[in-house]
Structure 1
Amino acid sequence: MIKQYKLRFYNFRLLFLLLAVSSIGVLLVGTARKDLMTKQITGVIMGLIIMVIVSLIDYSWISNFQWIMYGGNIALLLIVRLFGDSANGAARWIDFGFIRFQPTELAKIIIILFFARFFMDHEEDLNSPKTLAKSAVLLAVPLFLILEQPDLKNTIMITAVFCILIYIAGLSYRVIGGVLLIAAPLMIIFLMIVVQPEQKLIKDYQRDRIMAFLYPENEEYSDDTEQQNNSKMAIASGELTGKKLSGDQVTSVNDGNFVAENQTDFIFAVAGEEYGFLGCTTIIILLLFIALECIRMGLRAKDLSGKIICCGMGSIVSLQSFLNICVATGMGPNTGTPLPFVSYGLTSLVSLYIGMGLVLNVGLQSSAYNKELQKTIADKKEEYL
């Protein structure tokens, strides 16, 4: 379960990157909502403690409980479906009285850990129809429960992450080509259906967000485009160094509450206005380096499971960052996706830190560590003999 690791194999570079981006997140959340700053600090501290503990537990041992974790994940999603706390028309939280917990955020980590072990166990027959069908069914169950909350963005996010995981596991290019040939026309058909006023595939508010992105000039969707327009105005007003660094006292778009949910979905707008282009670039670079560090550690993993865990976490950080920034800058429809380690949200923050703890443990058991360990064991055997 817990091994004796050598400190020099601990990835302090990744730890520094996480501390840096989380510290920026605390500052931005405090700027957006001062009353939430203490909670965000608590979330960072809690996440760091849990991350360090998880990083010292053998991920191979944890993955032995893959089916228990899968079952627990389904149970949590069912509880949300049946007894979940609703907000803005969506039941996504379990209210414990002192804290609200969003199981979908933890589900992302569990799904990565589950399929990391599943794909490793089926590495030899990964491209067989039976294995592909089984993995699709196993994914479909939690996806259906997440979609029913309704939570379309996380349904798409988890599907995208799954595609990356199965590609990393060694999915045949022939299978990939076949899937793309089917998926491309299906996506076109889907878009043709959802733009129709009487469609039933997605919720009305989800359709309105898509229509607002496709037809921003249409006054019918002005309420949906206003948020993004104000977000772009806030980012543009920050110019190079931002209002906080330059001492500009001009009325703030964020302080005037022109951007709702600026502590979560539109936290990047706060960064743009307060710290300008330099602040936004710093956040993007830090998140990019975190994702690249995850991939680098995955390439040095001792087995396929570790490789999938690292690449899965790297994909979550990169995809969520991309979507959040696209929404804040008007380059994509409003999805309500938080910016990793920056946006307010204790469940999301702690879940990401759990995932990073797994990544750090993969790094502690890298191929270099195993070679040195084997050499040490061989030397001791020689001494004994």
Structure 2
Amino acid sequence: MFKKIVKSYDYTLIIAITLLSLFSLIMVYSASMATAVERYGVSSDYFYQKQKLFLLCGAFFFVITALFPYKALKSKKVLITIVFSSIFILMALFLFGHVAGNAQSWFKIGPFSIQPAEFVKLCVIIYLSAQYAKKQEYINEFKKGVIPPLVYLGVVCILIAIQPDFGTVELILLFSGAIIISSGINIKNLSKLGTLGVIVLIPFFLLFYNKIFTSTRMNRFEILKDPFKFQETSGYHLVNSYIAIGNGGINGLGLGKGIEKLGYLPESHTDFIMAVIAEELGIWGVGFVIITLAYIVLRGIYIALQCKDPFGSLLAIGISSMIGIQAFVNLAGISGLIPLTGVPLPFVSYGGSSLIQLAIAAGILVNVSMFVNYEKKYKKQRKQNAENIVNRKNIYYLTK
């Protein structure tokens, strides 16, 4: 039994996640050396050492969740715990939260900062997947099958928006939409849900108008037209990202030899780490990251399609869409396709909360994959064994 389970794990997915995480460790060190000394006044390997610790913690939780049966997550006790603990933690931020980047989104514990909203993303995925899997028999009854799980989603989004952290709210709404669409809801109810969403968002925008439509945010849209016009002010980040990407060319300047990270490119080890990768490793480094991320996302979608359990299928959709959407938003932001939102690149950017949450999510995805492979391989084998037994019995009676 144990050997069969071990053989059923998706080792290509595990290798892809591991390679990307180790690559991140190298690039965080390269991207943060100058920033650590010049901006923060700490040793050049400060962020590298912290990222290494985050990676070890992430590896521990990855192993735990990869071994833990994902089906236990849909139990009533687990879901109640998820709902109340996530809401309580988000509310506690308003009393004990630390302000960083104009948002009260962090708990400060010694030298470490924890961003609860990162873990709430996974809570939302688990809760919505469990609820819509449970409601499959009446999924197209709008009031009974569609609306109830969205109450939790709405409460979470409002609490995160108040911080304010609208980038995280946007991400949560997008991958929640992927789960809802994949749950089997018909087009008629999706249209109703879209209309209801617009009606709900109007007072939301009115309530947070002054926080959403700030001059800084509106400038980000203006920058997209001609960032070089604002290169000394609001377009400074994007222009230096362009320069870093352009400097790299095909082969890059060499690992550790980037210029833009030397005080020119802000947040070089977090939001703009891909610009550093492009400058130092060229198209080869960028290609490695994009291909590996694409493999993880597409593999997740494949697992969802193969999974016969609605809960496992929706979990895989939610996790893979979260990774894919977050990667797109980061890459599109640094290349000027969409306004910058401060979203980290999954598995690559520096950050403990993001990395540990992604490790837990990836572990759950690997566990879903294991169950899918186990059922495919050994269900066929059991069926074949049963057929062989029947054939042997038939031969025995015919020759008796």
* TM class, shorter-length: 0.7 to 0.9
Aligned match of 2:295: 289
Alignment of 1:237-248 (within 5 A): 237-244=247-254
Q: Following the alignment from structure 1 to structure 2, what is the Cα–Cα distance between the partners of residues 93 and 216?
A: 34
Tell me which amino acid in the other structure corresponds to 1:42.
L
Query: Does structure 2 retain, via aligned residues, the 8 Å contact 1:63–1:113?
Result: yes
Give aligned pairs, total. Answer: 372
Q: Is 1:80 paired with 2:87?
A: no
Query: Does structure 1 retain, via aligned residues, the 8 Å contact 2:142–2:189?
Result: no
Cα RMSD, aligned residues only:
3.1
Q: Following the alignment from structure 1 to structure 2, what is the Cα–Cα distance between the partners of residues 202 and 336?
A: 15
Aligned match of 1:52: 63
Q: Following the alignment from structure 1 to structure 2, what is the Cα–Cα distance between the partners of residues 231 and 218?
A: 11
In the TM superposition, what is the alpha-carbon distance from 1:334 to its structure 2 partner?
1.0
Tell me which amino acid in the other structure corresponds to 1:224.
S
Task: Specify whether residues 82 and 221 from structure 1 end up closer, same or farther in structure 2 by C-alpha distance, changes over 3 A only.
Answer: farther
Q: Is 1:261 paired with 2:267?
A: yes
Q: Is 1:252 paired with 2:259?
A: yes
Alignment of 1:184-333 (within 5 A): 200=210, 202=212, 204=214, 207-213=217-223, 215-216=225-226, 223-244=233-254, 252-255=259-262, 257-333=263-339
Q: Following the alignment from structure 1 to structure 2, what is the Cα–Cα distance between the partners of residues 214 and 240?
A: 25
Alignment of 1:120-139 (within 5 A): 120-130=133-143, 131-139=145-153
Q: Deviations over 1:213-272 (max 9, x none)?
A: 455469679522110110011011100010006x9x6x71112x1111111111111111
Query: Does structure 1 retain, via aligned residues, the 8 Å contact 2:224–2:336?
Result: no
Q: Following the alignment from structure 1 to structure 2, what is the Cα–Cα distance between the partners of residues 28 and 101?
A: 22
Task: Specify whether residues 69 and 184 from structure 1 end up closer, same or farther in structure 2 by C-alpha distance, changes over 3 A only.
Answer: closer
Among candidates 157, 160, 178, match of residue 164 of structure 1: 178
Query: Does structure 1 retain, via aligned residues, the 8 Å contact 2:347–2:355?
Result: yes
Q: Following the alignment from structure 2 to structure 1, what is the Cα–Cα distance between the partners of residues 299 and 198?
A: 32
Query: Does structure 1 retain, via aligned residues, the 8 Å contact 2:224–2:338?
Result: no
Q: Deviations over 1:124-156 (max 9, x none)?
A: 222222232212212100111111111101101
Aligned match of 1:90: 103
Q: Following the alignment from structure 2 to structure 1, what is the Cα–Cα distance between the partners of residues 237 and 352?
A: 24
In the TM superposition, what is the alpha-carbon distance from 1:167 to its structure 2 partner?
0.9
Q: Is 1:70 paired with 2:80?
A: no
In the TM superposition, what is the alpha-carbon distance from 1:212 to its structure 2 partner?
3.3
Task: Specify whether residues 132 and 222 from structure 1 end up closer, same or farther in structure 2 by C-alpha distance, changes over 3 A only.
Answer: farther
Aligned match of 1:11: 10
In the TM superposition, what is the alpha-carbon distance from 1:188 to its structure 2 partner?
11
Q: Deviations over 1:146-200 (max 9, x none)?
A: 1111110110100001100011111112223455567789999999x99xxx952
SS in 2 for 1:243: coil
TM-score scaled by length of structure 2: 0.84
SS in 2 for 1:86: strand
Identity of aligned residues (%): 27
Task: Specify whether residues 190 and 109 from structure 1 end up closer, same or farther in structure 2 by C-alpha distance, changes over 3 A only.
Answer: closer
Tell me which amino acid in the other structure corresponds to 1:23.
L
Q: Following the alignment from structure 2 to structure 1, what is the Cα–Cα distance between the partners of residues 156 and 204?
A: 22
Task: Specify whether residues 32 and 186 from structure 1 end up closer, same or farther in structure 2 by C-alpha distance, changes over 3 A only.
Answer: same
Task: Specify whether residues 190 and 61 from structure 1 end up closer, same or farther in structure 2 by C-alpha distance, changes over 3 A only.
Answer: closer
Task: Specify whether residues 370 and 75 from structure 1 end up closer, same or farther in structure 2 by C-alpha distance, changes over 3 A only.
Answer: farther
TM-score scaled by length of structure 1: 0.87
Q: Following the alignment from structure 2 to structure 1, what is the Cα–Cα distance between the partners of residues 11 and 278?
A: 29
SS in 2 for 1:244: coil
Q: Following the alignment from structure 2 to structure 1, what is the Cα–Cα distance between the partners of residues 11 and 193?
A: 40
In the TM superposition, what is the alpha-carbon distance from 1:105 to its structure 2 partner?
0.6
In the TM superposition, what is the alpha-carbon distance from 1:82 to its structure 2 partner?
2.4
Structure 2 portions without partners, runs of 5+: 34-45, 390-400
Q: Is 1:116 paired with 2:129?
A: yes
Among candidates 362, 371, 383, match of residue 368 of structure 2: 362
Task: Specify whether residues 209 and 124 from structure 1 end up closer, same or farther in structure 2 by C-alpha distance, changes over 3 A only.
Answer: farther
Task: Specify whether residues 330 and 117 from structure 1 end up closer, same or farther in structure 2 by C-alpha distance, changes over 3 A only.
Answer: same
Tell me which amino acid in the other structure corresponds to 2:181.
Y
Structure 1 portions without partners, runs of 5+: none
Tell me which amino acid in the other structure corresponds to 1:33.
S
Q: Following the alignment from structure 1 to structure 2, what is the Cα–Cα distance between the partners of residues 360 and 150?
A: 33
Query: Does structure 1 retain, via aligned residues, the 8 Å contact 2:224–2:337?
Result: no
